[in-house]
Amino acid sequence: MRAPRWPLAKSRRGQPACRRRPTEPGQGDSPHASEGRKSEAEPPRGPSAMEPSPGWGHQAGREGREGRLAPKELDLLGPDVVANVARLRERLGDPPDLVVRQTGSAEAVLYLSTLTSTRELSEAVVKPLLQGACSGREVEPGNAVTIPRVRAVQRFEEACQALLDGEAVLLRQGHRGGWRVDVREYPKRQVAPPESEPGTRGPREAFVEDLDVNLSLVRRKLRTPHLRVERIVVGRLTRTSVAVLYLAQLARPEVVVHLRQRLQHLDVPGVLGVEYLAELIEDHPWSPFPGLASTERPDVVASYLLEGGVAILMDGTSFALAGPTTFISLMQSASDYYQRWSVGTFVRYLRWLGMLLAMVTPSVYVSLLTFHHELIPPRLLFTVVSGREGVPFPPVLEALAMELAFEILREAGLRMPRQIGPAFSIAGVLVIGDAAVRAGLVSPLMLVVVGLTAVASFAIPNEDLANAVRILRFPLLAASGFLGFFGVVALLMAVGAHLVGMHSLGLPFFSPLAPVRPRAWPDAMARAPFWSHLFRPWIRRDRDEPLPDLERGR
Amino acid sequence: MTVGRRCLFWWTLVLTLGLATAGCWDAVPAEEVAFSNAVGLDLASPKQQSDEGMPAPAGALVVTHLIARPEVLGQRAETTGGSVSLAAKPFVLISEAAGAVEGVRAEATAFLSRRIRVDFVQVLVLGEELARQGASPAVHWALRQRNLRPTTFLVVAVGTAQRLLDAQPSLDPLPADSLRALLQQARRSGLAWPVTVLDFGRWLLSPTRDPVAPLVERSRALAEPAEPGAEQAPLWRDRSASDLENRLLGLALFRGDRMVGRAEGAAARGLLLMLGEFAGTVVVPAPVPGQGQRLVAAVITRCRSRLEPTVVGERLTVGVQVTARALVQEVQDLGGVHTPQVARALTRRLEEALAGDVRAAWALLQQTGADAAGIAEQLYRRDPRAWAALRGRWLQVYRAADLKVAVRVELAQGTVYR
């Protein structure tokens, strides 16, 4: 039989959502959790669950591949508890943290102690089962446990996966299949202020490594029934939960479908961070510029969603992806919106200036000193040249060496223990720089140029964009050393052409400047007052469309 | 051809054309360049020629490059009272006699470790003797230099240009800086206005106007050091020499490309008034009731002029209308100057003084035959036929022309107020 092209086919046979992990209490697969699940845009289970509408069934991208597994692995759980336990133990390689507890004469609970809350398990599962056994009443274990996150499990592989996800599996002698109870407990970090996107004002909370916590952070900001959360499992071995968030009717359907398809078609052993996903799904993976915005701030994700964008959260990472993004968006910071519009506008222009300085300052310095002396005012030139007296290297090599040295210092500072890292960086810059100047290896102005470049690069709010600028600085430097301003301008034109040709989830990356859409300019060229632009979805659209009125449900 | 290949082709083509035409291959690190800050041109004297032991060609030039020494300029030694001291002389003069200006640069390359670049020439200095012999070769050389800015200032040195460039001004490390600053504020001195190489070249080529250039001489400093230890001049200066500074003297008048006279003092002021370039100070005696004559200093803050040459028969009459706004800056007595009578008298005195300056300038212009005010140009614009008729005997007509001067002064700040 021909294998289905889309791995969705397996789920269509009625095995959806086996790896779904409920996000909130009361949203499990137990019968009394069905209402809660619908709020997360889950399609109903069963044969109709795999319609093209978004929902849990799309995790079946993985399921489809499993549909091609050996027939033996597709076996159902049998009625013999002892045999099932033995098979599960064998399938998992008899791990030392696999615990099998007998709760009655004919019942067994299996769980991995390293992933499970034993206290909750004892209180909510084992104790009710033991009480039921003692009372002599015949109660189905799925109904006896006192926590709602209980789902029936039929397939053997599904039971294995439940154990690996941290759930407990209940088996009863003589009963085909079993129950999976969500009593997971992972070590998790407390919500803390953002480290890579700090701000003096605005909310001081950042994502953590737990997907449920991250979802709750976003939900707290968007308490609307239009918020859609789709979960997709990515990674053949890591089985990582990925959540796609968007506001129904506001996000462009083609963008959502586009993103969903890309995630579904991923065929990788594993993803360990959201950055993996970004590289795997973005439009231009060879580009130094990011195709999706990476952020650790829930308010940034919320703003993207309010503007009609899509966000991706991933379990195990404290960063989220948001898109479609634009070059302009990457130059904006959340703090722009937490201060007055005039200050925000000024800071934005400063940031643009900083980016320009970070990119071209060394190359302009080299061009001026090598090719275009006449562009420097005489007194300044004499000062510059006096500093270069005795320096044995041409300006381009001097600049390259200093830039590389700075990058090495920066990288070494990151690897240093936190206690000595800053001190080391300062010592590196001051001591080594001063020593290099005294030794006549570099000119004092070169230190100024490198320092200015370094400081300016920190003005770029998005780290991925800042890294792209860092990388581009070196070819620009080489071009300036060979060709002067001509080389710099030629390379900048090439970069500009590349940027104009880029797309992010289908949206032109240089929008609204190219293509020109003046309607979106108030929040692009400046930080216009809120009444003029607040959360207008055309920002993330490449054409002007009638906007839905979410408040009236249209 | 696919889109990628087509794109690559166009990029390669643009890059090749750019490289071929941009001239970016001749990279010269700045530290390998000798930056000429000023160029002086003199006529070679017979002594200089005999020193070389060979007959110099007729009209040989002595070309002097003022080469800045960045390594000295960049040194910031001890500062005393806000001024910066330099440990050594911050420039060198490179002089060579040759038949052509460019030949000197070629010869200098043979013994100089750096290339001489004229990108930063701020002033072109013509020696007086050279100016009297004809400034055309020097100006043509300057205009043909691709790297020399057309806005470079041009001055005529009293004596030799070399000596002018060897000055040691107190407030500027380089004589060229000092000259440039002098010229930039020349209008305030009431003696000259800045003239660029481009201006001078345009006048040289014009059949209706003669060139003029600021005249500068070596001079002693305005004040000697008050006492030992109070001097704040840079350390390297040799204070035994008395004339270390450069001073603006007036204007060098040319007829054609040859210098024919000097306009100093009242004549220079008058010429500036005729051209509406005057912004200096005028000191006149004014009658103060009960106190006789008192000196009053007035700064001309705005000056407009209008030249109206008219021809009646064979007679040229030049009308000069000057409108000036004068700010009373200093009065030797506080009382009475604001009364209408005194103000009127002061205005009249100022008008008479300025008219006298214009007449002095006109007399000098007629005497030398230099049309520095551009009378012919104005006549050509107003009455081209008359100009065409007079062109052949312009000098005679010009020297016999009548002058009608009308000066109107508007007095401001006649009273004392704050």
Helix-helix angle A211-221:A298-306, to 10 degrees: 50
A386 touches chain B (CB under 8 A): yes
Q: Above 80 in pLDDT, residue A221? A: yes
Q: What angle do CA A7, A13, A16 make, to 5 degrees?
A: 70
* Helix or strand holding residue B384 (H, E): helix B384-390
CB B179 within 8 A of CB B153: yes
Is residue A324 reached through a cis peptide bond, with omega within 30 degrees of 0 on the bond before it? yes
Tokens of residue A215, six digits:
């979802």
Between B114 and A48, name the one with better pLDDT.
B114
Q: Cβ separation of B74 and A486 shorter than 8 Å?
A: no
Q: Cβ separation of B147 and A371 shorter than 8 Å?
A: no
Phi, psi (degrees; rounded to nearest 5) at A489: -65, -40
DSSP per-residue codes, B312-372: ETTEEEEEEEEEEEEEEEEES-SSSTTSHHHHHHHHHHHHHHHHHHHHHHHHHHHHHT--T
DSSP helix/strand/coil, B147: coil
Q: Above 60 in pLDDT, residue A152? A: yes
pLDDT for A246 equals 93
DSSP helix/strand/coil, A193: coil
Amino acid letter for position B6: R
CB contacts of B30 in chain A (<8 Å) are 369-370, 373, 381, 384-385, 388, 395
pLDDT for A17 equals 31
Q: Cβ separation of B68 and A387 shorter than 8 Å?
A: no
Q: How far is A380 from chain B (nearest CA, A)?
A: 10
pLDDT for B20 equals 67
CB A523 within 8 A of CB A533: yes
A388 touches chain B (CB under 8 A): yes
Cross-chain CB nearest to A385 (options B11, B14, B30): B30
Q: Above 80 in pLDDT, residue A466? A: yes
Q: Rg of the Cα trace of chain B? A: 26
User: What does pLDDT average to over chain A?
Assistant: 78
Cross-chain CB nearest to A382 (options B11, B29, B70): B70
B31 touches chain A (CB under 8 A): yes
pLDDT for B210 equals 94
CB contacts of B18 in chain A (<8 Å) are 486, 490
pLDDT for B34 equals 87
CB A21 within 8 A of CB A166: no
Q: Which pTM value belongs to this model?
A: 0.73
Q: Cβ separation of A388 and B30 shorter than 8 Å?
A: yes
Question: How confident is the model over A410-449, as pLDDT tens digits?
Answer: 888 777 777 676 666 666 777 788 888 888 888 888 889 9
Contacts of B327 by beta carbon, 8 Å cutoff, 6+ apart? B298, B299, B300, B301, B412, B413
Calculate the CA dihedral of residues A534, A538, A540, A541 and round it to 10 degrees: 180
DSSP per-residue codes, B248-285: EEEEEEEETTEEEEEEEHHHHHHHHHHTT----EEEEE
d(CA B334, CA B352): 23
pLDDT class for A243, splitting at 50, 70, 90?
very high
In sequence order, the β-bridge partners of residue B410 are B325
Q: Cβ separation of B75 and A386 shorter than 8 Å?
A: yes
d(CA B355, CA B333): 26
CB contacts of A388 in chain B (<8 Å) are 29-31
CB B297 within 8 A of CB B282: yes
d(CA B226, CA B41): 37
Burial of residue B117 (number of CB atoms within 10 Å: 0-12, 13-18, 19+): buried
CB A369 within 8 A of CB A384: yes
CB A437 within 8 A of CB A447: yes
Tokens of residue B140, six digits:
């043509």
Contacts of B28 by beta carbon, 8 Å cutoff, 6+ apart? A370, A371, A373, B115
β-pair type (B245-255, B258-264): antiparallel
CB A355 within 8 A of CB A331: yes
CB A339 within 8 A of CB A261: no
Tokens of residue B109, six digits:
């390359």
Contacts of B100 by beta carbon, 8 Å cutoff, 6+ apart? B61, B137, B141
Tokens of residue B363, six digits:
């007399």
Q: Cβ separation of B74 and A395 shorter than 8 Å?
A: no
pLDDT class for A302, splitting at 50, 70, 90?
very high
CB B91 within 8 A of CB B174: yes
The total of other beta-carbon atoms located within 10 Å of residue A192's CB is 13
Is residue B90 reached through a cis peptide bond, with omega within 30 degrees of 0 on the bond before it? no
Q: Cβ separation of B74 and A394 shorter than 8 Å?
A: no
DSSP helix/strand/coil, B303: strand
CB contacts of B24 in chain A (<8 Å) are 371, 482-487
Contacts of A170 by beta carbon, 8 Å cutoff, 6+ apart? A107, A108, A109, A125, A129, A141, A142, A145, A178, A179, A180, A181
Q: Cβ separation of A487 and B73 shorter than 8 Å?
A: no
pLDDT for B395 equals 92
A47-56, A63-72, B207-216: least confident range? A47-56
Residue of B nearest to A394 (CA): B29
In sequence order, the β-bridge partners of residue B248 are B216
Between A50 and B389, name the one with better pLDDT.
B389
Phi, psi (degrees; rounded to nearest 5) at B17: -60, -40
CB contacts of A486 in chain B (<8 Å) are 18-19, 22, 24
pLDDT for A511 equals 85
CB B89 within 8 A of CB B69: yes
CB B268 within 8 A of CB B191: yes
Q: Cβ separation of A373 and B74 shorter than 8 Å?
A: no
Q: How far is A291 from chain B (nearest CA, A)?
A: 21
Question: How confident is the model over A516-538, as pLDDT tens digits?
Answer: 888 778 788 888 887 776 555 55
- Choose among B159, B160, B395, B365: nearest CA to B253: B365
**Domain B265-418: what homologous superfamily?**
Nutrient germinant receptor protein C, domain 3 (3.30.300.210)
B28 touches chain A (CB under 8 A): yes
Question: How confident is the model over A357-380, as pLDDT tens digits?
Answer: 999 999 999 999 988 888 888 888
Cross-chain CB nearest to B22 (options A373, A386, A486): A486
* From-to residues of CATH 3.30.300.210 in chain B: 265-418
The verdict on ipTM greater than 0.90 is: no
Q: Cβ separation of A386 and B72 shorter than 8 Å?
A: yes
Alpha carbon of residue A112 to chain centroid: 28
Q: Above 60 in pLDDT, residue A5? A: no
Q: Which residues of chain B have pLDDT under 50?
A: 50-52, 77-83, 230-236, 417-418
Helix and strand counts by DSSP (H, E) for chain A: 21, 12
CB contacts of A382 in chain B (<8 Å) are 35, 68, 70, 73-74
B20 touches chain A (CB under 8 A): no
Cross-chain CB nearest to A389 (options B22, B70, B117): B70
Cross-chain CB nearest to A385 (options B22, B70, B75): B70
Residue of A nearest to B91 (CA): A382
Question: How confident is the model over A257-290, as pLDDT tens digits?
Answer: 888 988 988 889 989 988 899 989 888 888 999 9
B95 touches chain A (CB under 8 A): no
CB contacts of A480 in chain B (<8 Å) are none
Contacts of B415 by beta carbon, 8 Å cutoff, 6+ apart? B337, B338
d(CA B61, CA B66): 16
Q: Cβ separation of B24 and A381 shorter than 8 Å?
A: no
CB contacts of A485 in chain B (<8 Å) are 24
Q: Above 50 in pLDDT, residue A325? A: yes
pLDDT for A356 equals 94
